[in-house]
Amino acid sequence: MSDVPSIQLNNGRPIPQLGFGVFLVPPEDTVTAVAEALRAGYRHIDTAEMYGNEKEVGRAIAESGLHRDDVYITSKLNNGHHLPDDARRAFDETLAALGVEAIDLFLIHWPLPTRYGGDFISTWKTLEEFYRDGRARSIGVSNFHAHHLNRLFAETDVMPAVNQIEVHPYLVQDELRAFCAEHQIAVEAWSPLGRGAVLNDPTIQAIASRLEKTTAQVVLRWHIERGDIVFPKSMRPARMAENFDIFDFSLTSDDIAAISALDRGERVGPDPETFDRV
Ligand code: NDP
C-alpha cells in the first residue's frame, strides 16, 4: 500500500521508517489528524502520555477499520512515573487509553538524570517486565546520551531497541548516532524538520529547487537516507501528504554532505542533561 521501508530493530521486529508524530496536536484535533494521516498512508503513530492524546490516537486507529497489527504504535512513559510501581500503573493506563492489549514500542521519555537520585535503571528494569510479558513488543529510550546508555548496558539485561533523540540539519548528532549504530540501537529523529526552523535554509532550498521537491521533502529524505526513523507532525492534510511523498527520488552523496554540514549544535528542545520537568 505504501513504499515506506522498514527498519529491523535489534530484536528482529520491523518498524516503518516514516510515521506521524502527534506532539502539540491538541486532543480535540487528534482523532481528525490521525484519521487523515492514516488516509494519507501513514502506518506508524508516535505519541506519549505527556502529549495528552493517547486516547484519541487509539480512537482514530480503531475507527479507521485498519487491522490493529497494520498500525505501529509508540508511546512513552511520562516523567512523573519513573518509580517502578508508578511505571506499572502508567503503562496499564497507556494501554487502556490506546485501547490495545500490546503496544509496538514503549520508551522512557527522558532520562531525568537530576531526578530520582539519578536512577533510571529501576525504571528500565520495569520496562523489561513489559517486554518479557509481551505487552510491549519492543522497548527503548528517548533523549539518552551515550553515558546514560552505557549505564543501561552495564546494569540491565535488554538492549534498548531505539533511542529517540532530537535530530535535524541544525543538530545532526553524528557522534551519538554512530554510538547507537555501534550498539545496534536504531535512531529515531524527533523534530526532524527542526519544527520548521530548517525549511528556509538556502542550502536546502537550492537542493529542493534542483530536484523540484519541497524543502520539507528534502530534509525528510536526508533523514531516511541516513538510516534514521522519522515521524514529522503536521495538522494540515496537504503537508501530511507532502511529507509522505518522499520515496520517488534520492539525494546525491554531495547533497547529504551539504545538509549535514549545516550542523550548528542548535536544539529546538531541551537538553537531556538538565531537563527535569515532571
Ligand atoms: P517537526 O520537525 O515534525 O515539525 C513540525 C512543525 O513543522 C509544525 O509546526 C508543522 O506545522 C510544520 N510542518 C510540518 N510539515 C511541514 C511542511 N511540509 N512544510 C512546512 N511546515 C511543515 O517537529 P515536532 O516537534 O512535532 O516533531 C515530530 C514528532 O517527534 C513529534 O510529533 C513527536 O512525535 C516527536 N517528538 C519527540 C520528542 C521526545 O522528547 N521524544 C520531543 C519532540 C517531538 P503544521 O502542523 O501547521 O503543518
Q: Is 42 a catalytic residue?
A: no
The residue ranges of the chain whose pLDDT is under 70 are 1-2
- Centre of ligand 1 to C-alpha 155, Å, is 34
Whether 96 maps to a domain, the answer reads: yes
Whether 169 maps to a domain, the answer reads: yes
Whether 41 maps to a domain, the answer reads: yes
- Centre of ligand 1 to C-alpha 230, Å, is 10
What range does the domain containing 119 cover?
6-260
pTM over 0.95: yes
Instruction: State the catalytic residue, choosing from 42, 51, 131, 170.
Output: 51
Check residue 2 and give its pLDDT: 59
Grid cell 530548517 in the structure block, residue: 198
What total number of domains does the chain contain? 1
Buried b / exposed e over 170-195, threshold 16 CB at 10 Å, is bbbbeebbebbeebebbbbbbbbbbb
Distances (CA, A) of 152 to 103, 124, 137, 167, 193: 22, 8, 19, 22, 30
- Ligand 1 within 6 A of CB of 22: yes
Check residue 67 and give its pLDDT: 97
Whether 53 maps to a domain, the answer reads: yes
Whether 166 maps to a domain, the answer reads: yes
Tell me which residue has its CA closest to atom 19 in ligand 1.
Answer: 216
- Centre of ligand 1 to C-alpha 85, Å, is 32
Tell me which residue has its CA closest to atom 24 in ligand 1.
Answer: 191
Whether 62 maps to a domain, the answer reads: yes
d(CA 158, CA 65): 34
- Centre of ligand 1 to C-alpha 244, Å, is 13
Is the CB of residue 244 less than 8 Å from the CB of residue 236? no
Whether 265 maps to a domain, the answer reads: no
Check residue 1 and give its pLDDT: 43
**Which tens digits make up the pLDDT trace of 164-211?**
999 999 999 999 999 999 999 999 999 999 999 999 999 999 999 999
**Among 28, 64, 7, CA closest to 229:** 7
d(CA 103, CA 105): 6
- Ligand 1 within 6 A of CB of 78: no
Output the DSSP codes for 25-38: --HHHHHHHHHHHH
Task: Output the domain CATH number for residue 229.
Answer: 3.20.20.100
Whether 270 maps to a domain, the answer reads: no
∠ Cα 269 271 272 (to 5°): 115
